[in-house]
Chains A and B, each alone.
Chain A
Amino acid sequence: MKRKITFLTALLAIATSIYLIAADHNEALGVQDTGSDIADLFAYQSPQNSNNLVFAATVKGLLSPSATTNAQFDENVMIEFNIDNDGDAIEDLVIQCIFQDGQVYAYGPYAPMTTGLNSSIDTNAPLAQAGITPYGSNAIVGSSNGVSVFAGPRDDPFFFDLTQFGAILGGSATSFNDPGTDAFEGTNVLAVVVEVPKSMVGTGDSINTWIETKRKQ
């Protein structure tokens, strides 16, 4: 009993700092409601080709269908997939995606000129390009040198009973419901998906990957 009370008290103390939490949607005030606000990252072996890896990033989470009509990628924001293939959590390769005039440009995978917080694009890096798929249209896919790219609005693939978790943290509930309620049901995101041959990202057993959004200065 004492342990339970301690636990709930601790939850209550932190509840005030949480208003909306998800995978990474809207998590920090500095990026909230901007084109650089990452919602999610996925990386997995391609269901179509076991020699390929899929990288998928989503931004601008929690779009209603009506808001999706006019939702656009920020042309000043780069979405950068980082790949570490020697285990030091420093990027050895990047895939840099930028958006301009209805097109997505995906450079890489290639070794970046610099690592860390600031990036530029090597104009000689391999490029895959596609039109950004408009809301309501069939997916437009661009491919070059074995790399495929897609960008456009999609259903948010994330699912979570965020509301009940908030109630637990707030002290008004002590457990999840069964069944739970997906707080992301019926909401969209802007997604960029890149599929690349595994041979382009590393030769070892595994890689580490993470997503960064970077704004043009």
Chain B
Amino acid sequence: MKFIKVNKLAALLFIGALTIGFTSCDNDDDNTPDQNAVYAQEDQMGRPAVNTVFVQGARKDVFNVTIPSQMGAAFGQEIQDRLLALNAGYTTNALGLDAATFSGVLATDVLTVSLTGTTTFFDGVNVLTGRTLSDDVISTELLLIFGGPDGTANPGLTDDHVDGNDKAFLSTFPYLASPW
């Protein structure tokens, strides 16, 4: 009985040693990712179309390598200038934000996501609490840029009338539709 126990122990130790051996081999395996490399930033995005619409020319590349905590100081003014170039009649928008405040929100290009409630870019009630696949983000942004304080200004510019995707999303992971 005792002999069997010792044998079992020896077998377990042997299996353990093999496992450790294989683990060590894995670390040197050429097929595993290179873990010592340094990766340098090339592109960045938080909310849809901020850099695309509000930053111009070569500054777009600068925006892409500016860390979000420094974006407000670096890009706030030119984003406000661009907002007023797009809509010279801008006063406030449906969120009640004047040009400077709205530009400040836009400049720090991060997407806020709720951990406790509905996550949506805009669903008629909640605003900027996330972004789902089906959110009509462009029409929301057009409304905030062109729609004025109550969303009724420039009615021809506040909705592109493309309200949904060209393929149905999946109800299960990975949610995005299969490719065409």
Classify chain B: how many residues form its interface, as a range. 35 or more
Q: Is the CB of A42 within 8 A of B133?
A: yes
Which interface residue of A14, A21, A117, A186 has the most chain B CB atoms within 10 A?
A117
> Which A18-41 residues have a C-beta within 8 angstroms of B?
21-25, 27-31, 34, 36-38, 40-41
Question: Which of B2-10, B16-24, B94-102, B154-162 contacts the other chain?
Answer: B154-162
B154 to chain A, nearest CB (A): 8
Which interface residue of B39, B67, B110, B119 has the most chain A CB atoms within 10 A?
B39
Q: Is the CB of B179 within 8 A of A153?
A: yes
Residues from chain A with a CB closer than 8 A to the CB of B85 are 10, 13-14
B130 to chain A, nearest CB (A): 5
Residues from chain A with a CB closer than 8 A to the CB of B179 are 63, 65, 68, 135, 153-155, 188
Q: Is the CB of A24 within 8 A of B167?
A: no
Interface residue A93 (Cβ < 8 Å from any Cβ of B): no
> Which B101-144 residues have a C-beta within 8 angstroms of A?
108-116, 118-120, 129-133, 136-138
Q: Is the CB of B43 within 8 A of A36?
A: yes
Given A23-B49, A185-B166, A47-B175 contact (CB < 8 Å): yes
Q: Is the CB of A176 within 8 A of B157?
A: yes
Give complex CA distance A165, B177 in Å: 26
Interface residue B38 (Cβ < 8 Å from any Cβ of A): yes
B84 to chain A, nearest CB (A): 8
Which interface residue of A117, A153, A159 has the most chain B CB atoms within 10 A?
A159
Q: What string of 1s and 0s marks CB contacts (under 8 Å) between A198-217 and chain B?
A: 10011011111111111111
Q: Is the CB of B39 within 8 A of A191?
A: no
